Homo-oligomer: A and B are copies of this chain.
Amino acid sequence: MSLYSELFYAKEINELFSDNQTINAFLQFEASLALAQADNGIIPAEAAKIIAQCCNASFIDTEKLKKEISLGGNAAIPLVQQLTRIVKNNDFEASKYVHLGATSQDVVDTALVLQIKRFIIWLEEQLKKLTQVLTTITQQHRTTLMIGRTLLQQARPITFGLKTAKWLENIETDKVRIEACKNRVLVLKLGGAVGSGNGNISLEVQKSMSNALGIGLPEMNNGLVELATTLGILSGNIGKIARDISLLMQTEIAEVFEGAAEGKGGSSTMPHKRNPVTSATIIANATRIPHLVGSMLSSMTQEHERSAGLWHSEWEPITQIIQLTAGSIEKTIDLLANLEVDSNRMLANIELTNGLIYAENVSLALAQKMGKINAHELIEKACKLSVSQGKHLKVVLAEMNIDIPDVDELFKPENSIGNSLEIIDNILSKF
């Protein structure tokens, strides 16, 4: 990740998953376990206090830890060994009670949950910012006319606000999914050697720990993979925004631009270019994340009470999904907050097709008189003439002596946006 740590990622979330923070989360589990066991009379209070004091990442030899992870196959084993030694140096008696009754997966998974808890707080703040900026843009551009495009072809006019309202609606639904998923992912993992629990990690201990750590009681619920899929959908919705902006920035369309920043989006060889650099980054992330989500789903068919490989295959992909999504969302907020919209160019582009985009208006008007099929065929003919002769459709229709009442009204974009404004208002009113 290193060289591209600020390109694809968000600094704060990189930091949250740094070695140091990860070790901290491990130690937070161990301290909390000891304290909970003391609270419930399982180990001496004094011992728990000493253990908790030793749970400090600065005491851990990280390089030694990394080396020894290969031996045990997970980070908990060598960490608990180091911790036990540190405690022993302080108090022999207390060292008997380190990690009591717990298993490696309890530490590793709960530590991740603690990091995810902090990530979700961050994410919720970001999503709030994102929907705020989308709401503002939607309000600003509620009536800004632009052409709607399907299959990359100009279709019929909409407003730019309709486009952004739909982006907004998707992100709002992402919030609902994240909220629902939160309770399932933010739970303590504490099952002992084979998930059967034991006296040292009794329900009472679990309750104490859950309370202390601010997470739910243990449950089997695929929280991690649900988080992965939920972020996958969020990332797709964000990617769609970036996709649209990158296309609208095309030299030939030029309706919307990433905000200019000193030195941003320039090309090393072409001084005039205005590259969709931020959009490209978000699209890159949206291209990768679906596969990482698939990777998480492929890790589900785990053998027996703990897998030989499919637990291990979760660790890095879930972190990558979180980190890439964090990068995308931070960049999208920045992108939208500084978006430049050229509404004149939007209006000009509507006129590019010599009125062809109003053909459906005319077709629908004529359908009243001659039926849909006949109208469709007649207009198809008129459109072909318009194209081959390079004439405006209105002119062609006149030359064909087709009588259409209120024809001028049919060719105004503001009369061709359907229920755009109602749809926008409905979306804005919901959130």
Contact = CB atoms under 8 A, between A and B. Distances in A.
A101 B3 CA distance: 25
Given A88-B373, A154-B251, A270-B155, A295 B304 contact: no
B3 A19 contact: yes
B252 A383 contact: no
Chain A's interface: helix, strand, loop or mixed, by majority? helix
B3 A75 contact: yes
A270 B308 contact: no
Interface string A400-428: 00000000000000000111101100000
- This chain: how many copies in the complex? 4
A242 B236 CA distance: 22
Could you say which interface size class chain A belongs to? Answer: 35 or more
A134 to B, nearest CB: 12
A283 B310 contact: yes
B5 A66 contact: yes
B73 A247 contact: no
Contact of A376 (B66, B149, B271, B309): B271
Contacts of A250: 149, 152-153, 250, 252-253
Interface stretch (A33-41, A118-126, A165-173, A208-216): A165-173
A100 B367 CA distance: 10
A376 B95 CA distance: 12
B316 A4 contact: yes
B150 A246 contact: no
